Amino acid sequence: MSPHAAPPVAILGTGSCVPDRVMSNAEVGAPAGVDDAWIVRKTGIRERRWAAPDQATSDLATSAARRALEAAGITADQLSAVVVGTSTPDHQQPATAAFVHQNLGGSRTAVSVFDVNSVCAGFMSALEAAHALVARTGGYALAIGADTYSRILNPADRRSVILFGDGAGAVVVGPADAGGGIRTSAFHIHSGLTGLIRVPAGGSRRPYDPAAHDAGLQYFTMDGRAVREFFMSTVPGLTKQFLHDSEVLPSDIAHVVPHQANGLMLDEMAPTLDLPRATVHRTVHECGNTGAASVPLTLDRAARSGALRRGDLVLLLGMGGGMSISFTLVEW
């Protein structure tokens, strides 16, 4: 658990962005040998958005960040930190967050700018980092989750190409003005299962070279059945433990914003969380699994729809490769 000292830190604004290009199930399914009916039956996904050839992760992240800043009523010059959760950065270096800061046009240079990679749970790590920085030094910070998985998908792999969309979500965190705020967070890692989700080539263990390309090692790979079994068997118990440790009753939770891994998995998981009053928010049916973007993107849509009311307890649930599971409890 990671409680933070006073003054309390709150989410002051949210924003999100998805590309204009809509990819239907027919389009992504054809190269993989599956059709719309099969994809809907297996995933609940009906479409997703893929980035244009000239769009990078930082472009989507910047658009989401601008909307979050506008919602919070602050400018880029007021930021003391920009943290991007992504596993599909613009480049191996420098950090994608540096490009976001550049794109936002802030003139202030005394800003902490960096990326974190917890795969699909990356936003949760970014939010925790931003929260800690603001709690320690004050000011305002951007926490962003952004991914362009379309760049690393094997078009013939029906286990993965049908699942993923591109997008970004962002929040501005800063001093809570009147009650509420981020209450607490918890993080778990099951590092013995690192092989379940990975991109084999492109790092120091296996550099990307012609041999790796010929073997298709540049593509995202996932043991979907094992991943699903792991999360289904692990998340419910950890959720109960997190609420107990947070001294919150399950009936106190008004909203759950989970990682949008798979629509059918969310259908199966939701009842096992035993949160009798909670609305489980979803974007997976129209956006697919947007990686680190899925939690903040879904949170932004819930916020802008008016579903989240002052005082509501919101449970953010991250699930990602590694294998990682993370929770953040927010009083809206």
Q: Which of 4, 101, 131, 259 is catalytic?
A: 259
According to the model, what pLDDT value does residue 276 have? 96
- Enumerate residues 6+ apart whose C-beta is below 8 A from 310: 180, 332
Fold of 1-332: Peroxisomal Thiolase; Chain A, domain 1 (3.40.47)
According to the model, what pLDDT value does residue 106 have? 83
Is residue 120 flagged as an active site residue? Answer: yes
Q: What is the mean pLDDT of residues 133-159?
A: 96
According to the model, what pLDDT value does residue 1 have? 43
pLDDT band of residue 3 (cuts 50, 70, 90) is very low
According to the model, what pLDDT value does residue 4 have? 42
Residue 165 confidence (pLDDT) above 80: yes
How much of the chain, in percent, has pLDDT values that exceed 90? 92
| SS3 state at 64 | helix
| Span 71-125, pLDDT tens digits | 999 999 999 999 999 999 999 999 999 999 999 998 889 899 999 999 999 999 9
Q: Which two tokens stand for residue 40?
A: 């809907």
Helices (H), the chain: 25-29, 36-43, 57-72, 96-104, 122-137, 210-214, 224-245, 263-272, 284-287, 294-304
Q: What is the mean pLDDT of residues 285-304?
A: 98
| SS3 state at 185 | strand
Strands 313-320 and 79-85: unpaired
Averaged pLDDT of the chain: 95
| SS3 state at 161 | coil
Is residue 17 flagged as an active site residue? Answer: no
According to the model, what pLDDT value does residue 180 have? 81
Q: Which two tokens stand for residue 153?
A: 């998908």
How much of the chain, in percent, has pLDDT values that exceed 70? 98
Q: What is the mean pLDDT of residues 285-312?
A: 97
Q: What is the mean pLDDT of residues 10-36?
A: 97
Q: Cα–Cα–Cα angle for 13, 16, 18, nearest 5°?
A: 175
Q: Which of 4, 25, 117, 120 is catalytic?
A: 120
Distance CA 296, CA 294 (A): 6
Is residue 259 flagged as an active site residue? Answer: yes
